[in-house]
Amino acid sequence: MTTPAQLSFVEIDTDALADLEGRIAVVVADTGKLDQAGRRLNRLMRGALERFVDSEAFAKMKEGEARDLAYPTGLAAEAVQVVKLDRKPDPMDARKAGVAIGKAAGGKAVTILAGPVKSPGEIALGAVLRAYDFTDHKTGDDDARAGATSFTFMVTKPEEARAQAGDVAALAEGVFFTRDLVNEPSNVLTTTEFAARLEALGDLGVTVRVLEEAELEELGMRTLLAVGQGSESPSKVVIMEWMGGGDEQPFALVGKGVVFDTGGISIKPAGGMEDMTMDMGGAGVVAGVMKAIALRKAKANVVALVGLVENMPDGRAQRPGDVVRSMKGDTVEVINTDAEGRLVLCDVMWYAQETYRPTGMVDLATLTGAIIIGLGHDNAGVFSNDDTLCDAFLKSAKAEGEGAWRMPLGDAYDKMLKSTVADMKNVGGRAAGSITAAQFLQRFVKADTPWIHLDIAGVASRKDEGPFSPKGATGWGVLALDRLIRDSFEG
């Protein structure tokens, strides 16, 4: 398990600057004016900091950008990183500055002279998120953790800064939990291991219950069970409850947890199939949100449910042409066994509504390749039956810098799911693939339930760096959903 870098906030001590090891990051306003710590640092560097700040290179830097002055004269530190940031920065610029600091840290302790910035919380969050490095399966000294082990902020009012540290740590823990789950290989993160890691949230006050296959069969979750029937790993549904908001009905999160997806009998091409270790990304985000809200003791009622299965080809695996009956009672003709995520979600969503009568429901899934074709890797697809809930989520996602774009729903797309032998097909053809998938899910949403479907296939994991993450799992959605809960459901 990856532990976030340590954060500390101390009073500015100019006498200690010369002997600081590791790296020093100094925040400089766009005016170029140096504060007390900056002036002391400049004297130790024999004017090198001031020369850089007066240069054209600094003038061309944007808010939140940073440049290194390597091996500075007069200091024990190996580098001074100059960060351009206004005294009252835009939150995303401040987080961007933190990302630059975290990216450059390289395993070194970093001291950040943040004197001009009154609220360094966003800088701290950006730095911690970008310093993440998943090394659980690497060996040897060369594979040591690349991220910084500690960030020490020198600020004018450390007590005020420390007050922000709790929420920063909670969010970072939630994002790291998601990233670790998504980055894990499938031979490690089996359905059983996944459920065990979620059960450990009980130590934080989350009530966790695991439904095994016999109970799922009794409940009628046959579409979910059909997906996993070709695997040696048992299918499970894990329910997590955080009841911090009194007697209010809970808000529901539902996640797709396909720990590996071969496509089943409709088997995927070999090229790139190794990426299907991340097909449990929706469940991973749900888990990260629950960890974050538990750590910060959110005053809200939230219930999270994840369907954990493995989609494998086997003599017992479901076949194209099979007809299965959902918990709701509707029948589904399985045209393509690789369109399995919606079969998992529909049963879990119905159970969530029947059991909890939630005030609203968000499901998350790495559901379709079509959403990647449409939106790439910078935006998740957002589908909703409720403008108020959808607008609130989009506002939260924008505030947290997590890309999200609303997509359409409509009767014309719904008709594409018509089957001649069952109530519906599980796919509607190549055209509008992400939309017909959402239309399938909407059939399992009650009319009085505000609902959002998030297709995160493009944003859950990346081959390049994300805005706040290195290559690999991003943790997209933890920040946005935590803010949605904070702003809309906490009293």
* Residue 302 DSSP class: E
Give dist(CA 42, CA 33) in Å, integer.
Answer: 12
Rounded Cα distance, 326 and 126, in Å: 43
Is residue 69 classed as helix, strand or coil in its secondary structure?
Answer: strand
CB 320 within 8 A of CB 336: yes
* Burial tier of 415 (Cβ tally within 10 Å: 0-12, 13-18, 19+): exposed
Position 142 scores a pLDDT of: 53
Catalytic-role residue among 296, 342, 425, 483: 342
3-state helix, strand, coil in the chain (%, to 5): 40, 20, 40
Are 242 and 269 within 8 A, CB to CB?
Answer: no
Residue 337: name the closest of 326, 322, 348 by CA.
322
Annotated catalytic, 463? Answer: no
- Interatomic CA distance for residues 105 and 81, integer angstroms: 10
Most distant pair of Cα atoms in the chain: their distance: 82
Identity of the residue numbered 14: T
d(CA 359, CA 255): 17
Tokens of 103: 């990216």
pLDDT at position 149? 78
- CA dist 4 and 170 (Å) reads 10
Query: Which residue ranges make up each domain of the chain?
Result: 6-156, 176-488
Please pick, among 268, 325, 446, 486, the residue that the annotation labels catalytic.
Answer: 268
- The reported pLDDT for the residue numbered 143 is 45
The CATH classification of domain 176-488, taken from the options 3.40.50.300, 3.20.20.70, 3.40.630.10, 3.60.15.10: 3.40.630.10
CA-CA distance, 172 to 278, in Å (whole number)?
20
Q: How far is CA 6 from the centre of its chain?
A: 20
The token pair at 487 is 């702003």
Cβ proximity of 455 and 439 under 8 Å: no
Q: 36-45: per-residue pLDDT in tens? A: 999 999 999 9
Low-confidence ranges of the chain (pLDDT < 70): 141-148
| 8 Å CB contact between 113 and 152 | no
Q: Give, for 405, the enclosing helix (H) or strand (E).
A: strand 404-406
Is CATH 3.40.220.10 the classification given to domain 6-156?
A: yes
Residue pointed to by tokens 């908001």: 245
Contact 125, 97 (CB under 8 A): no
Q: 418, 484 in Cβ contact below 8 A?
A: no
Q: Answer for the pair 386, 360: CB distance below 8 angstroms, yes or no.
A: yes
